[in-house]
Amino acid sequence: MSGPLSGVKVVELAGIGPGPFCGMLLADMGADILRIDRLTQADLGLPLDPPFDILGRGRRSIGLDLKRAEAIAIVMALLDKADALIEGFRPGVAERLGLSPDACLARNPRLIYGRVTGWGQDGPLAGAAGHDINYIAISGALHAIGPHDQAPVPPLNLVGDYGGGAMYLAFGIACALVERHASGRGQVIDAAMSDGAASLMSMFYARRAAGRWRDERGVNAIDGGAPWYGVYETADGKYIAIGAIEARFYTNLIVCLQLDASTLPPPHDSEHWPALRARLRDIFRQKTRAEWCETLAGHDVCFAPVLSLAEAPAHPHNRARGTFMQRDGVIQPAPAPRFSRTPGHVNRSAPRCGEGGAAALADWGFEPRQIAEFRANGAVIS
């Protein structure tokens, strides 16, 4: 194992959305993650098979039926040796299974018990069903995203599941591990996607309070309202992204477009934004995306081509930095962020249920006799 979290042992109770992504982030940074897979996949949506399950990379696995007391005893034995737990059940489910924070911390007072849910462990909505779109809806984030005078646009499930959920849980686990060096004690992390999405909106709440952000879609500087911060179609039906916020970048852009600034509407007068957008839209439709990239390259205008998932790995910048990697024939994002001394690494593809479990248990200090007992009690281990 390599990476800044090398030596950290994590038990992950298999789930969907933010739990697996948090596990991927920790595994990429060197954490030794043992995933507890359910013997039935009925409640896990439509998981991808390895090696396509990128979010499941870097793990080893054992399979358990958590409805059996013998399986819970095995999980407890694992938690005795673990630094952290990732749990993404609805509030109350872990308690009903016998895996409550109190029970787990009584066994291992140094355990970091990481919980991630949509609404949090308490509050009126805590027990309600939901998905990313619902969690970001009550944070104000969804309302702010989309064109003016049209319905809000779901920003994939980046803001709730992954930004507001998985990354905040990973950050919380890292913080708790640091604090444990001083206190010697573990603690419980309540990571709610609705909380995290609200936190991600901090800048916009600040600007609204200061009177510098209108509570409408598509009318502000960086929500698609301003013509100098947006996406334009090119002659070949592709797109260019422009972010010329500052005056010098806007001036450079106008020069590169061979426009006479004196004939254009004032760039920061929002009443004239539709007219300025129309001028820019007409100009960008005169060349292909590749031609605009050639025209704008090397000039400080804040531009980039809008690339598809198929195109992005081949971009020269992404290739130079190794932003994407290939493992088992699958192109996927490489570990991020970068570390100068202890770089992250993808050491294995996602496991099938039970795959690598025997080696993981041996690495965690379990004797062959104990592993045999686990198998006898219904654990799938290979």
The active-site residue, picked from 37, 161, 195, 223, is: 161
The active-site residue, picked from 65, 131, 272, 315, is: 131
DSSP string for residues in 47-105: PPPTTS-GGGTTEEEEEE-TTSHHHHHHHHHHHTT-SEEEE-PPTTHHHHHT--HHHHH
Q: Does 181 qualify as catalytic in the annotation?
A: no
Q: Does 131 qualify as catalytic in the annotation?
A: yes
Burial class from Cβ neighbours inside 10 Å (0-12, 13-18, 19+) for residue 285 reads: middle
19 within 8 A of 12, measured Cβ to Cβ: yes
- Rounded to an integer, what distance in angstroms lies between the CA atom of residue 142 and that of residue 152? 6
DSSP string for residues in 236-299: TS-EEEEE--SHHHHHHHHHHTT--GGGSPPTT-GGGHHHHHHHHHHHHTTS-HHHHHHHHTTS
- Rounded to an integer, what distance in angstroms lies between the CA atom of residue 265 and that of residue 267? 6
CB atoms under 10 Å from CB of 38, counted, come to 18
Longest dimension (CA), the chain: 83
Query: Which helix (DSSP H) or strand (DSSP E) does residue 229 occupy?
Result: strand 229-233
Residue 330: strand, helix, or coil = strand
DSSP at 144:
G
Residue 172 φ/ψ region, left for φ over 0, alpha for ψ in the -120 to 50 degree band, beta for the rest: alpha
CB atoms under 10 Å from CB of 282, counted, come to 10
21 within 8 A of 55, measured Cβ to Cβ: yes
Residues with active-site annotation: 131, 161
